[in-house]
Structure 1
Amino acid sequence: MRKTSSHIIFWIAYAFYFFLSGFITIPQKFAQSHNMIQNVVISVSEIIICFYLLIHRILPFTLPTKRYRILFFLLITLATLSSLGNAFFVYLYSHFITNNTFSFYKSCTVGLNNVYLSIHFALAYWFATNFVQNVREQSKAELQKSILEKSILEAELSSLKNQINPHFFYNSLNFLYAQALPVSRRLSDSVMLLSEMMRYTIKENDAEGKVPLEQEVKYIQNYFAIQQMQFGENLQLQIDIIGNINYRRIHPLTLSPFIENALKNGDLSSAEQPIKVLIETQENDLFLTIIYLRKKGIKESEVYDDLIEIRRKLYIVYFNNHVVKFEHSENIHKIFLKLSL
């Protein structure tokens, strides 16, 4: 809308300049040879038509692919048609409206001059817009590079903070499981679930850094099971899986941050509105849908701040191969994720 308004303002200003410059330069000849309004309307209209033909059709078709011969031919054709068109309209206007003397040569000359001006305008506009677009794309690429470098730095710092071998924790959990088994079945089951989750997080990935999708889903189910042990019947959640999750691979811990966000900000005890999680696969795409009731005391901005951070980290791994959408109605929040596996 802003771009259209700018174009309209420019052409109105140019028409006024065209009228004023012609009147000041040769006032008598300008007024006698042609009607001033006729001259402005026909010439400016011709320039506008040629300008948009050039920037939307001719230049995009020829310049990016360096088809200079075709460009030259099209410009000659445009100049010829424009000259003849200008002569035709001037003839009609002079013959039927003003009864002024018609000059074919002069009308064609004016038409050629209009094409000449439109070519200058179009080339200037073409190179200016391409320059601005290149600058924007370069700025966007530099921003993405900066975000990636920052994320790498954060990962390195996190690695420094966690220099203790994670296998130590995994082995310790197995030891605690063996110790807890005679004491409490509930406690030992909890430790076993934690052990399985730890094993998943330290497991080596394939060459692409991916793991089987069923292991990611199993990790989420274990996470839910631990939460269920902690909250008992007060925890209201529902998880459904549609489609085949076997023989598909995903980057580890891709889905779990969305689940954790829902349990962190959602009302866990609402029987009328339980936390609903749907994992669905269709061909090479994975869909995750989460619906939950926002917990009292949690601000909407807090929810979206967390989700934006999750989406930022997801972009580093999947780039443009994913879509994330957030929706809310009153206190009901919906999260939609689409991944190309």
Structure 2
Amino acid sequence: MLQTIKKQWKQILIILTLYTVWNITVFLFLIRLQGLEITMKQFGTGAEFYLNFVHTIIKGTIVYYILIYHLVIPLIRSRNWKTIIPQCLFLFVILTAYEYLWNFAIIKPDPKSVNYVSPKTFFITAAVLDSIIILISYFVATLITSNEMRKHKEELEKEKLRAELAAIKYQINPHFLFNSLSLIYTKTLKSSPEAAHAVHLLSEIMSYALDDWGEMGTVPLALEVEHMKKVIEMNQIRFSNTLKIKYYEDVQANDAVIPVLAFVTLVENAFKHGDLNDEKNQVSIELIATKSKICFLVCNKKKTGPKEPSKGIGLNNVQQRLELMYGIKHTFKIKEDENYYLNEIIINL
């Protein structure tokens, strides 16, 4: 929360600085072009000048901040024209009404003054200026979004390099591993079908984890769910089918993609740190996927006694990859108290 507030203030300060510099530059240019006396007549003198200048800076900063960061950038990212275009129109209706009150109710210009602008001319000028403001905001928002995408791609590359380095550092030769598992599967198939099935599951889970899923490291949702169920089944076999697990699934968007092992990691953490034998507080795994949203929740009661050592690497990795892939289009909630632990991922498609 604090990080978000700091980021917003930074954005406001940047716009405030740039807009102030721009207005000062325009003012100095007008002085050079038409002279100080004519320019001061247009902007006012003394307290009136400072009031107009400060009002213009504050108003412009607020308008550009809302337009760029809360309307145009979300529009570029989501392409949700039906929602954002009415919001833009509403903003400019409010802005025009405010400007009208400021100019004709607060300032109350003299109709005989050289600088007097009639209401008709005011509305025409306001419409033209609003169009220019929109174009400027869209241009700036495009630059910001392009820069974010470039940084996003660089971060993905760094993450990929780090992942490759970790794989090189810790991996067992996959061919040796899978050949060994295949041998064990063959040897145990007749004597212990359940053990053979467990070996087969382990082989498929490890193959899924070690496979190359491309630059983005994403997989179809259906494939992640399939292997998540294999992890659940593998753990049930380990504990002789005594684990207390409540699983709910409602998937309507099988064509969605997610970071590989994102859901599997959260499920594994629940098995590692959760109380798996409490009938009243079962491990709860819930997945709801529509065409517009994916909601995944894992909740478990904490087990008592000695805790297994954990550095939180898997959880941090999931957080980083979700942030890189979805940014503001996702939320990752972690809730914890003395007895319970909950992870919730929401992805807006």
TM-score class, shorter: 0.5 to 0.7
Distance in structure 2 (CA, Å) of the matches to 1:204 and 1:145: 18
Q: Residue 224 of structure 2 aligns to which amino acid in structure 1?
A: E
Whole-angstrom distance in 2 between the partners of 1:324 and 1:244: 21
Deviation at 1:294? 2.0
Aligned residues with identical type, % of pairs: 24
Q: Deviations over 1:99-155 (max 9, x none)?
A: xxxxx99xx9xxxxxxxxxxxxxxxxxxxxxxxxxxx99x99999788656534422
* 1:140 to 1:267, Cα distance in 2 relative to 1, 3 A: farther
Q: Please name the residue that 1:228 is paired with.
A: 236
User: Aligned-pair distance for 1:48?
Assistant: 5.4
> 1-side partners of 2:227 and 2:176: how far apart?
20
Q: Does 2:184 correspond to 1:176?
A: yes
Match in the other structure for 2:58: 52
| Matched letter for residue 339 of structure 1 | I
> Contact (CA 8 Å) 1:265, 1:303: kept in 2 or not?
no
Residues 165 and 317 (structure 1 numbering): CA distance in 2 closer, same or farther, change over 3 Å?
farther
Whether the 8 Å contact between 2:245 and 2:276 is mirrored in structure 1 is yes
Letter in 2 for 1:338: I
Deviates most, 145-154 or 283-292:
145-154
1:334 alignment partner in structure 2: 342
- Cα deviation, 1:235-271, whole Å, max 9, x if unaligned, reads 2112211123544443422211111122222211211
Q: Residue 237 of structure 1 contacts residue 275 of structure 1 at CA under 8 Å; is this kept in 2?
A: yes
CA deviation map 1:199-224 (0-9, x unaligned)? 33345547865433222112111111
Partner SS for 2:190: coil
Letter paired with 1:271: E
* Counterpart amino acid of residue 225 in structure 2: V
Separation in structure 2 between the aligned mates of residue 310 and residue 246 of structure 1, nearest angstrom: 20
Give the root-mean-square deviation of aligned CA atoms: 5.0
Is the contact made by 1:46 and 1:86 (CA closer than 8 Å) also made in structure 2? Answer: no
Alignment partner for residue 300 of structure 2, among 292, 296, 303?
292
| In structure 2, C-alpha distance between the alignment counterparts of 1:59 and 1:276, rounded to whole Å | 42
Match of 2:166 among 158, 180, 184: 158
Q: Are residues 181 and 57 of structure 1, via their aligned partners in 2, closer, same or farther at CA, if it must alter by over 3 Å?
A: closer
> Deviation digits for residues 175-204 of structure 1, max 9, x if unmatched?
211101122122112111112223333455
Q: Structure 1 CA distance, aligned partners of 2:64 and 2:209?
A: 56
**SS across alignment from 2:262:** coil
Which of these two proteins has the greater Rg computed from alpha carbons? Answer: 1
1:123 alignment partner in structure 2: none
**Match of residue 322, structure 2, among 307, 314, 318:** 314
Question: Which whole-Å CA distance do the structure 2 matches of 1:203 and 1:150 have between them?
Answer: 19
Does the CA-based 8 Å contact 1:265-1:298 persist in structure 2? no
8 Å Cα contact 2:224-2:261 kept in structure 1 = yes
Give the aligned residue type for 1:263. Answer: F
CA separation in 1, counterparts of 2:224 and 2:65? 51
TM-score relative to the length of structure 2 = 0.54
- SS of the equivalent of 1:280 reads strand
| 1:224/1:334 CA distance change after superposition, 3 Å | same
Give the total of aligned pairs. 252
Amino acid at match of 2:237: M
Match of 2:123?
none
User: Given the superposition, is the C-alpha separation of residues 215 and 315 from structure 1 closer, same or farther in structure 2, using an over 3 Å criterion?
Assistant: same
Q: 2: distance between equivalents of 1:227 and 1:236?
A: 11
The one-letter code matched in structure 1 to 2:58 is: Y
Q: Using structure 1 for the length normalisation, give the TM-score.
A: 0.55
Q: In structure 2, how many angstroms separate the alpha carbons of the residues matched to 1:204 and 1:150?
A: 16
Structure 1 unmatched ranges of 5 or more? 4-39, 62-76, 89-103, 109-135
1:167 matches 2:175: yes
Contact 2:103 2:109 in 1 (8 A): no
Is this contact kept in 1: 2:246–2:285, CA < 8 A?
yes
Rounded Cα–Cα distance in structure 2 between residues aligned with 1:273 and 1:59? 47
Whether the aligned pair in 1 keeps the contact of 2:156 and 2:216 (CA below 8 Å) is no
Partner letter of residue 328 of structure 1? Answer: E
Alpha-carbon spacing, 1:294–1:52, altered in 2? closer, same or farther (3 Å): same
3-state secondary structure, aligned to 1:232: coil
State whether structure 2 residue 220 is matched by structure 1 residue 212.
yes
Residue 311 of structure 1: how far off its partner (Å): 0.7
- 237-246 or 172-181, which moves further after superposition? 237-246
* Alignment-derived partner of residue 270 in structure 2: 262
Task: Give 1:232 deviation, angstroms.
Answer: 2.7
